[in-house]
Structure 1
Amino acid sequence: MSILNRINVFRRRLMRILTKNIGKSSSKGNIVLVDKNAISRVLICRPNGRLGNLLLISPLVQEVSEIFPNSKIDLFVKGTLAPIIFENYDHIHKVIPLPKKPFENLIEYCKVWISIKNEPYDVAINVDQNSSSGRLAVKFSKAKYKFYGDLEDQFLPVKNDYDHIAKYPVYNFRNYLTKWGLHKSNKIIAPLDLKLDSNEIAEGKKILKTLTNNAKRTICLFTYATGEKCFSKVWWNDFYSKLKSEYKDYNIIEILPIENVSQIDFQAPTFYSKDIREMGALIANTDLFIGADSGIMHLASSVQTPTIGLFSVSSLKKYEPYDNCSIGIDVKKFPANDYFKVINSLLNNGRLKLYSKAV
């Protein structure tokens, strides 16, 4: 690890220690909400710029939009992806991005914090309770109702899927709303959703037709991932060889990462794009997505394509794709010969519950 990375790790740890108690005192006691329909401005804070982490807040955005039907939602994030991801969300008013490198853009960095302070928010929500910047943004806002992302002691996580990073913010916020006298929802939490429109899906279909030039069903691979999450070329080539042999009547294509590399050495027809909505539209027209834990895995899940997430490092309970006949597999525990039972099940539109429990 470089000196700069070590400094960043130390900085993040220090900030978490300094900010972990922000909002604790203000969370005590009940708040009476006059009319939830009167909530017009909401701030959701997730100062992170990664594709996967931004897609993973879409269930919370959907939840807030439903609870406060007359609201406009601002997103406090990092980077440039959020406006693209949420462009078809009617309730999104604007995106407030923090610069990726604040010390190189100090003026812009300060402007962001000032803008949060000046906006007349009714509700401010921090998505990740461990986010120092998220907690500070909620504290800094003038919102009457402030949720810092914590699960209070009297609310124990009783849901077996509570650990999932897309779900526990929703569960925690639902618990917080009971302090307003609102009934706690027991609805199934919404899936990730890119909200592709019909034109985008039609364009994705055209791209797929160009790649395959036939009407066969299609399996989509994404063979890349960052760091230790990336499986070796040996692993992928072995898997791809077996996949081709088992599914001769299917197209197999590969989505390429921004690095334009392939762990199967470009053996399958490939698609490269820097447009995540275009990538999503292509994946939406395929029958199954298979890839390691990555932002593109969550992208596949967000376009309602059955998704198999391959895990070796990350927490399965925290990051696995869910809903739409999707499943996460721990490759260290799961018999390689049984992969195709799972694939067959998903291609036949049924999640294999036996293996869901096993992994």
Structure 2
Amino acid sequence: MSFKIQINALRRRITRSLTKNVGTAKLKNNRNANSKVDFKNVLISRPNHRLGNLLLISPLVQEINATFPDCKIDLFVKGGLAPIIFKNYTSVDNYINLPKKPFNELLKYIQVWIKIKQKKYDLVINIDKNSSSGRLSTQYANADYKFFGEDNEAITTRYKDHVHMAKYPLYEFRYYLEQLGFPNKEKEIPTINMKLSNLELKQSKIILDELVPNDKKTIAIFTFATGEKCYSPEWWNPFYEKLKIAFPDYHIVEVLPVENVSQINFKAPSFYSKDVREIAAFIANTELFIGADSGIMHLACASQIPVLGLFSVTIPEKYEPYGNGSIAIDTNTTTAEGIIELAKVRLLSSL
């Protein structure tokens, strides 16, 4: 582990220790019990730049918009991906962008916190209870209602899948609405969704047809991931060969990471793009996605096709793909042949 990584890990531990007790859920105490709460301005705090973590906000955005159609949502984020991801979400009104390196951009950093304080919100939601910036921004914001993402026994005992990063904030939102007199909602959780346009889908279909003939349907694979989540070429190469034998009636295309590397040494036809919406639209034109836990795995979920997420080190319950027949697979206990059988089931159900 590099010295820089060690310093960043130590910094995170210190800031989390200092902020872990900042804030508790706040409900307006002096409200009229007979009046109906109507949220018009909401702030969602998720100051993280990672693709997957930003995509996991989308179910909550959908839920808020469905419950309060006239509501405008501000996202407190980091980096420039959020406007791209939420391009077709008309309810998202503003992006409050936290600099990645606050000490190098001190003036902008201060302006961000002033901007949060100046606006009056009806509700502020912190997504990750372990995020120091998230907890501080929620505490600092001007709002009558605040949720910090802390564990709530009423939620954890009711929902077995409460651990999931996309689901807990939504369950928390529903729970506190119940406390405000709204009817209990037990409907299905919205899926992660990029809301791709028909034009985006059509343009990416042209790209796919140029890459492989349109005489067969296509399976997409993603062989990369960060750190220990990345499977080795020794794992991917035999799996790819078995995949080709098992699915002779399908093209197999590799979606490449921004690093433009391949764990199968570019043996399959490959697609490369730095545009996350184009990547999602390309995957949406395939029948099945297979890849390790990563931002691209969540992007595949957001493209609304079945996803087989491969997990070996991270907690599946926290980040597993869901919806559209998607599942998490523990490769510590599931063989390549077992993964292929699960792929067959997904492809048969989509016929």
Q: Give TM-score scaled by structure 1 length.
A: 0.93
- Secondary structure class of the residue paired with 2:95: strand
Q: How many residues align?
A: 350
Contact preservation (8 Å) 2:25, 2:148: no
Equivalences for residues 209-224 of structure 1 within 5 A? 209-224=209-224
The answer to whether the aligner puts 1:290 opposite 2:290 as a matched pair is: yes
**Residue-by-residue CA offset, 1:118-158 (whole Å, 9 max, x unaligned):** 11211111111121111111111111211111233454432
Contact preservation (8 Å) 1:260, 1:272: yes
Contact preservation (8 Å) 2:37, 2:180: no
Equivalences for residues 104-123 of structure 1 within 5 A? 104-123=104-123
Structure 1 residues 348, 141: CA separation in 2 closer, same or farther (over 3 Å shift)?
same
Q: Matched residues in 2 for 1:328 and 1:261: separation?
A: 24
Partner residue of 1:267? 267
Contact preservation (8 Å) 2:26, 2:147: no
Contact preservation (8 Å) 1:55, 1:192: yes
The answer to whether the aligner puts 1:36 opposite 2:37 as a matched pair is: yes
- The structural deviation recorded for 1:164 is 1.1
Alignment root-mean-square deviation, CA: 1.8
Q: Matched residues in 2 for 1:69 and 1:22: separation?
A: 31
Q: Matched residues in 1 for 2:239 and 2:218: separation?
A: 16
Partner residue of 1:353? none
Deviates further, 306-315 or 167-176: 167-176
Unaligned runs of 5+ in 2: none
**Residue-by-residue CA offset, 1:27-52 (whole Å, 9 max, x unaligned):** 69796573334x21110000101000
Q: Matched residues in 2 for 1:163 and 1:229: separation?
A: 20
Partner residue of 2:308? 308
Equivalences for residues 178-193 of structure 1 within 5 A? 178-193=178-193
Partner residue of 2:173? 173
Equivalences for residues 222-261 of structure 1 within 5 A? 222-261=222-261
Partner residue of 2:336? 336
- The structural deviation recorded for 1:26 is 4.3
Name the amino acid aligned to 2:256: L
Q: Matched residues in 1 for 2:314 and 2:274: separation?
A: 25
Deviates further, 135-144 or 155-164: 155-164
The answer to whether the aligner puts 1:317 opposite 2:317 as a matched pair is: yes
Equivalences for residues 64-103 of structure 1 within 5 A? 64-103=64-103
Q: Matched residues in 2 for 1:25 and 1:49: separation?
A: 25
Contact preservation (8 Å) 2:280, 2:303: yes
Name the amino acid aligned to 2:36: D
Name the amino acid aligned to 1:132: S
Q: Matched residues in 1 for 2:192 and 2:31: separation?
A: 30
Q: Matched residues in 2 for 1:17 and 1:212: separation?
A: 52
Contact preservation (8 Å) 1:30, 1:179: no
Q: Matched residues in 2 for 1:332 and 1:32: separation?
A: 55
Structure 1 residues 153, 338: CA separation in 2 closer, same or farther (over 3 Å shift)?
closer
Equivalences for residues 55-66 of structure 1 within 5 A? 55-66=55-66
- The structural deviation recorded for 1:9 is 1.6
Q: Matched residues in 1 for 2:50 and 2:162: separation?
A: 22
- Secondary structure class of the residue paired with 1:268: coil
- Secondary structure class of the residue paired with 1:248: coil
Structure 1 residues 156, 220: CA separation in 2 closer, same or farther (over 3 Å shift)?
closer
- The structural deviation recorded for 1:305 is 1.0
Q: Matched residues in 1 for 2:300 and 2:25: separation?
A: 40
**Residue-by-residue CA offset, 1:190-218 (whole Å, 9 max, x unaligned):** 00000001100111111110111223110
Q: Give TM-score scaled by structure 2 length.
A: 0.95
- Secondary structure class of the residue paired with 1:116: helix
Structure 1 residues 306, 348: CA separation in 2 closer, same or farther (over 3 Å shift)?
same
Structure 1 residues 31, 223: CA separation in 2 closer, same or farther (over 3 Å shift)?
farther
Deviates further, 21-30 or 168-177: 21-30
